């Protein structure tokens, strides 16, 4: 169990990343908040020692993805208030809003790969390790997600 000061530092450093990853998987602010709280509680209670912040980040991503999978198996996971939460977001440029909407329309398996690859900056191999998938599968999901985004965004431009 980390001391209080170390836990607060880790929480401040990774809480947003945990929430964003959970939201990209679950598309629900309330569910993402719940997963974030659960993951931070697991961090507080763990006796595991981490070699570095990168090791801790990797562990937090795995725990977050596992908690999201648990959530999807729950019978209570069928509600989404996605639209009400998205309406509260503010984007610097209108195209960022369009891109966010297009990404959130993808299947969860594509959203998570897009998030880890582009936003967190993980390579295909690192993303594959985090998701416990072969690198070829991650590459295929990334390619398919790009194709779908290209189609969705070009469709938006035509409207």
Q: Tens of pLDDT along the chain (159 residues)?
A: 668 888 899 999 999 999 999 998 888 888 899 999 999 999 999 888 889 999 999 999 999 999 998 887 765 555 556 566 666 677 777 777 778 888 888 888 898 899 899 988 999 999 999 889 999 999 999 999 999 999 888 876 655
Query: How many domains are there within the chain?
Result: 2
Quote the tokens at residue 118. Answer: 């582009």
Domain that holds residue 124: 90-159
> d(Cα 153, Cα 106) in Å, to the nearest integer?
12
Identify whether residues 61 and 109 lie together within a single domain.
no
The domain boundary, picked from 67, 89, 111, lies at 89
Identify whether residues 72 and 114 lie together within a single domain.
no
Structural contact between residues 113 and 145, judged by C-beta atoms closer than 8 angstroms: yes
Identify whether residues 4 and 73 lie together within a single domain.
yes
Identify whether residues 95 and 156 lie together within a single domain.
yes
């Amino acid at each position: 169990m980390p001391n209080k000061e170390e836990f607060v530092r880790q929480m401040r450093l990774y809480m947003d990343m945990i929430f964003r990853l959970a939201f990209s998987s679950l598309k629900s602010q309330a569910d993402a908040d719940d997963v974030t709280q659960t993951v931070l509680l697991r961090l507080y209670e763990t006796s595991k020692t981490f070699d570095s912040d990168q090791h801790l980040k990797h562990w937090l991503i795995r725990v977050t993805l596992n908690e999201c999978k648990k959530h999807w198996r729950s019978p209570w996971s069928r509600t989404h208030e996605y639209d009400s939460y998205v309406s509260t977001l503010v984007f610097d440029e209108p195209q960022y809003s369009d891109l966010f909407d297009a990404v959130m329309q993808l299947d969860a398996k594509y959203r998570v790969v897009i998030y880890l690859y582009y936003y967190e900056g993980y390579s295909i191999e690192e993303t594959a390790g985090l998701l416990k998938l072969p690198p070829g599968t991650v590459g295929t999901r990334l390619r398919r997600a790009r194709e779908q985004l290209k189609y969705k965004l070009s469709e938006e431009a035509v409207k």
